[in-house]
Structure 1
Amino acid sequence: MTSPDYLSLDTLDLALAATLLLLNAGLSLALDLGVARRLLWAALRMVVQLGLLSLVLEQLFALTDPLWTGLAALVMILFAGREVTARQSRRLSGWWAYGLGTGTMAVVAGLITLFALSTQIGADPWYAPRYALPLLGMILGNTMTGVSLGLDTLATRADRERAAIEARLALGAPRLKALNHVLREALRAGLMQVVNAMSAIGLVSIPGMMTGQILAGAPPLEAVRYQILVMFLIAGATGLGTLGATTLGALRLTDKRHRLRLDRLRPGAP
């Protein structure tokens, strides 16, 4: 009987790795860090979520139906929007708190994923869930982080620098120009995680996608090419997503009469 061309893990392998998590929980208890319960709960959620995901993906891969692929992508985007909202210490009030980040990510991550599937990846059909969903997940996850950091920085700094912004508005500056320095900081915050990730790849870390392909038997050069492609897609989506979200956020924090509207913010703790 021939062995599979990929490394297979059983329950015992995962249990051995889980002992490291239990070690961290023990350290938290010993040092009174207060994160042991959250750590174990997060690990349990991860296991359950990934287990359910594997069952869903098996069905989706067997169906290869554009409707089901689109529905799965929509669910991913909606959950990503929830995470963006939860990660902000100050956020917009009303439906804007959820709709702004979700809408921006849906447009940017969706278009860039379609671009990659129809050009570089060349999936046939283009909506094949085996290619579309993992690619969307990588792009969406990183765009989510950039958008949440950008919006959080925008709201926090606008509140902190209220006097300076209102002084610029009083002197006749258009609203986006009055918020220009805050927008720059928000964009920088959103892009920094991608910059750091690209700077460390190859010297400090071997990223997950490349590692998975190598463990599955792909030649290292081919794995590198795919990782470079993915990082370029992630960088583009994060930059465009953060730019779109923060610009729309800045417009929401002002009005057409060029007044600062911090009353449209509320505390972001869920």
Structure 2
Amino acid sequence: MNKLLLLLIFAAIIAAVYYQQANASGPANATQSCVEGDMRGVFCANSSALSFTKCLAGEWVEQTVACGEGNLCNPQAAGSNGGFTAGCVAVPQATASATPVPSANPLGVPAISGNYSSQQPSCGDGFCALAGDYRENCSSCASDCGCAAGDYCNAGIGACEPKCGNNRCDAGETSGSCCVDCACSGGLKCDNSSMLCFQPVNLTQSQLLTLVSSALAESHDSLSNYTYSVSDYHDASGEAFKRVTLNCVQASEYACGMIIDADSEGELHYRYYN
């Protein structure tokens, strides 16, 4: 009986040790989500930076590296198996070969493999040349340096600028999308931040200043102690206000400037600033 008990105890100990070892080795033997050093999703973040996702410590990590002085990022730097890989390419100088070569790999970015066939930068090659002897802009080569949606190319300076805010009501713009260029109608006011028209508070400037003067008098203050400006304003929730911005006549180390907003009910809301 004692021998049987000892055998059972010994078997239990062996099982416990095996269970602990199995648990300890399980995560180490688990399949990693990626192989250390592998890369994928290589693309040009802009004309001078290369972005990619790299496997570090079993996880995919997004990284961006600068191509370095004298280099540009070409989205089609090298071709293999019918596809193209982005990479940093040295910009040809006047004395350089007509065919550029991939630049030194920054921060361990792997060398580009396959048939490298990039030629000297030219309009239509798919990337915007911004440095070196040959340069492009949205005016000289729109196919490579096209502007983003909502922007237009200012041909005079060869730069992309926002359409909204150029003092012209361009095609595609309306008072509902860019009221600073396409004026509001029907008594609506333009919010220069959201570029949307809104219904202003129905208070004349005279009525507003009377309310403000009365409020200041209650605290033994006077509108004559300030210079002021009046504007229409509405907040993120869409509520409209008449705003009076008060500036101190005399400089002070204390917060004496004040913004007073009057809502549609004539109630005043205060905020101090220095």
Does the TM-score normalized on the shorter chain lie above 0.5?
A: no
User: TM-score, normalised on structure 1?
Assistant: 0.20
Structure having the higher helix fraction is: 1
User: TM-score, normalised on structure 2?
Assistant: 0.20
Higher RCO (C-alpha under 8 Å, 6+ residues apart): 1
Q: Which has the larger radius of gyration?
A: 2
Structure having the higher strand fraction is: 2
